[in-house]
Structure 1
Amino acid sequence: APNAGKSTLVNAMVGSKVSIVSPKVQTTRFRVLGIVMAGTAQVILVDTPGIFQPRKRLERAMVAAAWSGASDADHICLLVDAHRGYDDDARAIVAKLKEVGRKAILVLNKVDLVKREKLLGLTAELDAEGLFTDVFMISALNGSGVADLLAHLEKLVAPGHWMFPEDQISDLPQRLLAAEITREKVFLALYQELPYSVHVETESWDERDDGSARIDQVIYVERDSQKPIVLGKGGKQIKAIGAAARTELEELLERRVHLFIHVKVRDDWSEKRGHYSEIGLDFDA
């Protein structure tokens, strides 16, 4: 379900940042794989965009990617925000899964924010749908219940060869991950609708002789009036966004990063076919 904590859960199970997180809905725009070694099993987690009622081309492509990820998966975990309850978004997903005949594992997240009586009622209401094979109650943020869920997924993995090297944690290219980290910082820094009008591209990535990396990025906005919002007074906002992104990139890459960010106006970035193919979305969805 939208903003239920899917990316936080995937990051918690992987043990590292592979998918960006913010309190805003629709932060995840495309499918991201998280790869976990659980005992002798390799568990491939598919973090999808939330499923909601789309209005724009990008939103339609995001929802199509979510359903594609679900249909391709061996097992489906439906993550429901226990604090928000069984809302219209969750009901629509349940109805669709029942329509296509797919069972799912129910994962109730943020259970630490809900009283026991409400949690039991919510569980009973969802269980009555006849869709779920198992129920797990977790808090992705503090890690409660996550190990139990991962142990269950380990048991479900079919025997076979690993799909990825043992030390790989995601299929996301570094250039795209760097752009996503910066986009996350934009989401966290700016409010209202502006973040949804933002696209980040890593234009160049140069490895330096001293072991550091120089990364040049562009933040694209759709209107001239949005550019000064991203820059901030005296460039304060963009400096803060860049500093936060650089700090996290240095932690992830375990080396020094020189990050240079420019802000440009491109009113049609969300209508560029190449942008969709770059991140694995269907332009014609």
Structure 2
Amino acid sequence: MSGPPEAPPPAAAPTRCGLVAVVGAPNAGKSTLVNALAGTKVSIVSPKPQTTRFRIRAVVLRGPSQVVLVDTPGIFAPRRRLDRAMVAAAWGGAQDADLALFVVDARGGLGAPVRAIAERLARARRRVWLVLNKVDLVAPPALLPLAAELNALVPAEETFMVSAEKGSGLDRLLDRLAEAMPPGPWLFPEDELTDLPDRLLAAEIVREQVLRQTHEEVPHHATVETEQWTERPDGGVRVDCTIYVSRPGQKAIVIGEGGARIREIGRRARAELTRLLERPVHLFLNVKERPGWDEERARLRALGLEEEG
């Protein structure tokens, strides 16, 4: 005599997927937040503002949801063609996304740049969530009034208080993001963490070390390009990168006395790339002077940037 029929297996939860633009003023901690949510490094980080220059997508899986975080450049008053293209990339990221995370440095409060971004987000009538970052560095009584002021400017569907550096508050944020994604198929394969090509990743990791190890005048007058990518028989890769600067004095700073600084830039970048790519990396760096590179349309297009309009 046969027993009762077996219960069918539970149906898999329908998949969800959406784009989340991470916007804010320079140094709000956007890239640190994206890296922390992704659980790996997909965007370079430095203490200097305007580190991120173009949109980078980080793919985060949470249950049946794929959350595609779009790390955008910090929004600021542009002067150079590079600046204008960076700001256009940031606003383009917000326009294309299902949801915008407005990241605000809780220490800095409601300054003029933050206010301007809030007002433009309000005019755009996009879905906005407010993320107060670096709350571990602020007295708790100051946080609620700041959140109220910001919500008065741009009504946020939800408000989160986090420390991307310490990791606090991120689980709740990620859970809510996963729930808020619209139903639909995933945009990226399950094992893909970012849409940043390896050649561009290599250039960005070198640029991160330039940012971290040079004087204040150099960082935003330097760019890095991967000139050659050569696969080696031993499974490793040879990467040739050129650091372009605007003036002879900047070239001397990047090279350092007796070549000491460029060697240290190369040593740290090589170690980071070896870890990220999980293979041996043989990195060779060159420094060239190229005045006005940040006004060249072709060079900005190579970075994936276009001016607005």
Q: What is the deviation of 1:150?
A: 0.7
Alignment pair present for 1:180 and 2:204: yes
Match of 2:172 in 1: 148
- 2:9 maps to none
Cα separation, 2, equivalents of 1:254 and 1:101: 43
- The aligned counterpart of 1:202 is 226
Return the match for 1:18 from 32, 39, 42.
42
SS of the equivalent of 1:132 reads coil
Answer yes or no: is the 8 Å Cα contact 2:106–2:134 preserved in 1.
yes
Matched with 1:44 is 68
Residue pair 2:88, 2:307 contacting (<8 A) in 1 also:
no
Q: Which residue of 1 aligns with 2:255?
A: 231
Give the C-alpha shift of residue 91 in structure 1: 0.3
1:72 aligned onto 2:101: no
Picking from 160, 170, 175, the partner of 2:184 is: 160
Q: 1:181 and 1:130, CA in 2 relative to 1: closer, same or farther beyond 3 A? A: closer
Number of the residue aligned with 2:8: none
Matching residue of 1:120: 144
Number of paired residues?
A: 285
TM-score scaled by length of structure 1: 0.97
Q: Which of 217, 242, 248 matches 2:266? A: 242
Q: Post-superposition shift, 1:127?
A: 2.4
Shift of 1:40: 1.0
Rg larger in 1 or in 2? Answer: 2
Q: Does 1:254 align with 2:290?
A: no
Shift of 1:255: 1.4
Alignment partner for residue 303 of structure 2, among 261, 279, 283? Answer: 279
Residue of structure 2 equivalent to 1:214: 238
Paired residues of 1:227 and 1:265 also in contact (CA < 8 A): yes
- 2: distance between equivalents of 1:144 and 1:34? 20
> What SS does the corresponding residue of 1:120 show, helix, strand or coil?
helix
> Counterparts of 1:224 and 1:147 in 2: how far apart (Å)?
47
The one-letter amino acid of 1:109's match is: N
Task: Name the SS of the counterpart of 2:166 in structure 1.
Answer: coil
1:265 maps to 289
Q: Distance in 2 between matches of 1:38 and 1:284?
A: 34
Say whether the 8 Å CA contact 1:242–1:260 is kept in structure 2. yes
How much does 1:251 deviate? 0.5
Which has the larger displacement, 265-274 or 58-67? Answer: 265-274
For structure 1, which runs of at least 5 residues remain unmatched after alignment? none
User: Helix, strand or coil for the counterpart of 1:107?
Assistant: strand
Task: Tell me the CA shift for residue 269 of structure 1.
Answer: 1.6
Shift of 1:283: 4.4
Which residue type is aligned with residue 88 of structure 1? A
What amino acid maps onto 1:255 in structure 2? R
Corresponding residue number in structure 2 for 1:60: 84
- Indicate conservation of the 8 Å contact 1:176/1:202, yes or no: yes
Cα separation, 2, equivalents of 1:207 and 1:13: 31
The residue matched to 2:60 in structure 1 has which SS? strand
- Contact 1:94 1:131 survives alignment (8 Å): no
Identity of aligned residues (%): 55
